[in-house]
Amino acid sequence: MEAEDDAAGTVIEEDEIYANGRDDGESQRHRPIISGEQLDIEAYAALYTGRTKIARLLFIADKCPVPSMEPEALRMAYDEIKKGENTQLFREVVAKINGQLGPNYGPDNAWADAVDRRAELRKEKLENELNAYRTNLIKESIRMGYNDFGDFYYAHGQLGEAFKNYVRTRDYCTTSKHIIHMCLNAILVSIEMGQFTHVTSYVSKAEQSQDALDPVTIAKLRCAAGLAHLEGKKYKLAARKFLEVGPELGNNYTEVIAPQDVATYGSLCALASFDRAELKSKVIDNANFRNFLELVPEIRELINDFHTSHYASCLEYLGNLKANLLLDIHLHDHVETLYEQIRSKALIQYTLPFVSVDLHMMANAFNTSVTGLEKELETLITNDQIQARIDSHNKILYARHADQRNGTFQRVLQTGSEFDREVRAMLLRANLIKHDYNLKAVRKH
């Protein structure tokens, strides 16, 4: 009887599975053409300004799997550095280039020396100014002095010193605007240094002075907080922060993050950590965030695919994006974990509505083999993420409904016997202690 029921169940569900999981022709058609094509470094670099541009280029040069990309990235980094004053970084890049890029990209000692000399002079000047301010005890001027010092060190790549000087301005802040200015500077430097605990604390400090916050600053702070959570592997919190970033951000924070990144980071974190309802309400129906998503159509598509259960297409998008995401300075460490979580989320979501699932269908929907799928499901079941059991003979996954009554009985009996055991052990220990105490008392008398 039971077997018949099961058989009937699978027949009925077959159509649904089909509709639920497989790519149908339609989704194939409206999919924009993307592939695992190489990252366009030039376009990518154009999104950023300042130090992060250089840092990102160097990161790409370090990590890129394609040899042709490395010199390209290094060349652009070289050009970018020459616009600034960071001679130390300049020398490092020159050492990396190692003459591969021709005479135009050699160690331009004259330039470097000139910059160093100028820096020396400027530093002296700043010191004198600051000393003068300090003797006069004019708060505002001292703040400016420290701030200039911070800017100076930042431009020359001495991040630790820059951070110190920016933080020193704190004692001389008189308005909340100043405090926010200080916080933003500190955040910027901490992100560069990878000190994300500082980022979190300065974000919360800045958020305390509500009155002076304009929308752009709020957006910046959200981004910084999101990055800090991402770095701390708190993907859900990171997703929330990125999703809250207002459209005012625009291109105002390119020294840290591009709006495209907000879309990517936010979406991936959301996919990995949100449930279906939250995904719908906070990502897909989020008018603010849609503006960001429009910038990265692949991500928008894959989120929609995930939500409409076109997992194969969604996973394909993810697969295509992977190579480029691995080259992202903030995301690269988390790509694997996020991908894993997204995949298990998809598997869980797929199985959720069914009493039984044909593994062949499911394997098709996920573009994988039945044995591979079985292994994945096995780990998910073992970790208690899917309540189901696999019929490996007929390749069917059956949902398992825990019997509440039996479970309760079982737990009660178990708790009872644990209590029994623990109380007995405790009484025994108490008796031993009592004995010990008595012994001591006897000895004393």
Partner 1 sequence: MNSVESLVAQIQGLSGNIGELTQLRNYLKQSDDLLRTESTRLAPLLTELDPSIHSLGYLYILEACTSTPISKDQSNELVLSVARFINVCSTEQIRLAPDRFVSICRRLKEQVMLLEDPVRGVAPLLTAIRKLQLSTEQLTTLHPDFLLLCLLSKCYKPGLSVLEDDVFEVEQPRDLFLYCYYGGMICIGQKQFRKALELLHNVVTAPMPIISAIAVEAYKKYILVSLIHLGQFATSFPKYTSSAAQRNLKNFSPPYLELVNSYSTGRVSELENCVLANRDKFESDKNLGLVKQVVSSMYKRNIQRLTQTYLTLSLQDIANTVQLNSPKEAEMHVLQMIQEGDIYATINQKDGMVRFLEDPEQYKTCEMIEHLDFSIQRIMMLSKKLTNMNEIMSCDSSYLGKVGRERQRFDFDDFDTVPSKFNI
Q: Whole-number minimum distance, CB 377 to partner 1, in Å?
A: 8
Nearer to partner 1, 198 or 343 (CB): 343
Q: Whole-number minimum distance, CB 374 to partner 1, in Å?
A: 9
Q: Whole-number minimum distance, CB 382 to partner 1, in Å?
A: 6
**41/273 Cα distance (integer angstroms):** 30
Helix and strand counts by DSSP (H, E) for the chain: 22, 3
Q: Count of CB atoms within 10 A of residue 420's CB? A: 10
Q: Whole-number minimum distance, CB 352 to partner 1, in Å?
A: 17
Residue reference for tokens 């959720």? 352
Nearer to partner 1, 121 or 413 (CB): 413
Contact present, 258 and 48 (Cβ < 8 Å): yes
Q: Whole-number minimum distance, CB 437 to partner 1, in Å?
A: 7
Nearer to partner 1, 83 or 445 (CB): 445
Residue reference for tokens 């955040």? 187
Q: Whole-number minimum distance, CB 355 to partner 1, in Å?
A: 13
Single-letter amino acid code for the residue at 79: D
149: its two tokens: 């010092």
Nearer to partner 1, 233 or 389 (CB): 389
Nearer to partner 1, 321 or 397 (CB): 397
21: its two tokens: 């999981």
348: its two tokens: 């869980």
**241/23 Cα distance (integer angstroms):** 32
Nearer to partner 1, 19 or 432 (CB): 432
Apex CA 296: angle with CA 293 and CA 195, to 5°?
A: 85
Q: Whole-number minimum distance, CB 409 to partner 1, in Å?
A: 4
**78, 215, 254, 299 from 58: Cα distances, Å:** 10, 32, 17, 25
The sign of the dihedral angle between the CA atoms of 417, 419, 420, 426 is: positive
The sign of the dihedral angle between the CA atoms of 124, 129, 130, 136 is: positive
Q: Whole-number minimum distance, CB 197 to partner 1, in Å?
A: 28
Single-letter amino acid code for the residue at 324: N
Nearer to partner 1, 7 or 423 (CB): 423
Apex CA 379: angle with CA 375 and CA 380, to 5°?
A: 115
Nearer to partner 1, 253 or 354 (CB): 354
Q: Which of 398, 318, 344, 311 is closest to 20 using CA atoms? A: 311
Q: Residues near 350 by Cβ (< 8 Å), separated by ≥ 6? A: 20, 21, 309, 311, 357, 362, 365, 366
Burial of 284 (C-beta count, 10 Å sphere; 0-12/13-18/19+): middle
Site residues (vs partner 1, CB under 8 A) = 377-378, 381-382, 389-394, 398, 405-406, 409, 412-413, 416-417, 419-421, 423-433, 435-438, 441
3-state helix, strand, coil in the chain (%, to 5): 75, 0, 20
Q: Count of CB atoms within 10 A of residue 294's CB? A: 12
**175/15 Cα distance (integer angstroms):** 66
Q: Whole-number minimum distance, CB 353 to partner 1, in Å?
A: 19
Q: Whole-number minimum distance, CB 410 to partner 1, in Å?
A: 8
Nearer to partner 1, 5 or 420 (CB): 420
Nearer to partner 1, 272 or 377 (CB): 377
Nearer to partner 1, 68 or 406 (CB): 406
Three state DSSP letters for 309-324: CCHHHHHHHHHHHHHH
Q: Whole-number minimum distance, CB 378 to partner 1, in Å?
A: 5
Nearer to partner 1, 121 or 428 (CB): 428
Q: Whole-number minimum distance, CB 360 to partner 1, in Å?
A: 16
Terminal Cα-to-Cα distance of the chain (whole angstroms): 81
